[in-house]
Copies of this chain bind each other. A is one copy, B any other.
């Protein structure tokens, strides 16, 4: 990790709507400094005397040096916490903790990478693309969502990527279908060496299957319900196979969110696989 996380009472600099999403830029120097692609932050929601106790996790979309350092978050309104965030205005304060999690590992040598984003998952891919390009990598984008308004960052992808392929399930933008429908073609055309993916669990599973098919490494950033984001509560676990071949229930927040795709047991997410370390009645118990 690029330094340890800190808590910052940031000030909202700007708010904007981007299609189906809200974007908040927050002045949060201590956090901005330390962010690397794939890091996330957590926001305290609801203000004083709120009944909402837990922080909400968001990928860091953009980091800028302005005002000592800003971070931008992109989010959709899902429940009361994100609804509260969507109501914030410039100059309001926002309590953030970050940067959190294990960021995306970067290749040592220049290579070709396909970056796959589902819905707001693409938010964390642009900083990654920057870092990859800075290392001389070629970057191709595949972005998808159920509908056009939920594809995030298409324009920026077009500007940054060698190629950009868009998919929507309803066909309202790009190809009709899912990212996994177009991914094999993109990998083949680009002769890609690696894949990075961020989005819903189903998509990550599909992207991983494609990458495994091509026998190229794939990094996925997963999302699990989190109560703390800092590794102390053990609520955000998923089954991941370790270097020793043993499956463990590991924390998405501190062991992830970025994992090697083929190590994540996607079919078993939401269960305790019988052969996981310490599974009830399992061989290690």
Contacts and interface: CB of A to CB of B under 8 A. Distances in A.
Max count, chain B CB within 10 A of own CB: residue among A46, A49, A51, A84: A49
A107 to B, nearest CB: 44
Nearest to A83: B48
A47 interface: yes
A50 interface: yes
Nearest to A51: B51
Interface in A37-59: 46-52
Contact of A80 (B48, B83, B84): B48
Contacts of A49: 46, 50-52, 80, 84
B47 A47 contact: yes
Nearest to A79: B49
How many residues of A sit at the interface, in one of the four size bands? Answer: 10 to 19
User: This chain: how many copies in the complex?
Assistant: 2
A48 B51 CA distance: 9
Contacts of A48: 80, 83-84
Interface string A47-91: 111111000000000000000000000000000100110000000
Contacts of A52: 49
A283 to B, nearest CB: 46
A52 B48 CA distance: 10
A137 B177 CA distance: 82
Contacts of A46: 49
Contacts of A51: 49-51
A211 to B, nearest CB: 41
Nearest to A53: B51
Contacts of A47: 47
Contacts of A80: 48-49
13 contacts: A46-B49, A47-B47, A48-B80, A48-B83, A48-B84, A49-B50, A49-B51, A49-B52, A49-B80, A49-B84, A50-B50, A50-B51, A51-B51
Given A49-B52, A49-B80, A49-B84, 4 more contacts: A48-B80, A48-B83, A48-B84, A50-B50
Q: Which 8 A-B pairs have the closest CB atoms?
A: A51-B51, A49-B80, A49-B51, A46-B49, A49-B52, A49-B50, A50-B51, A50-B50
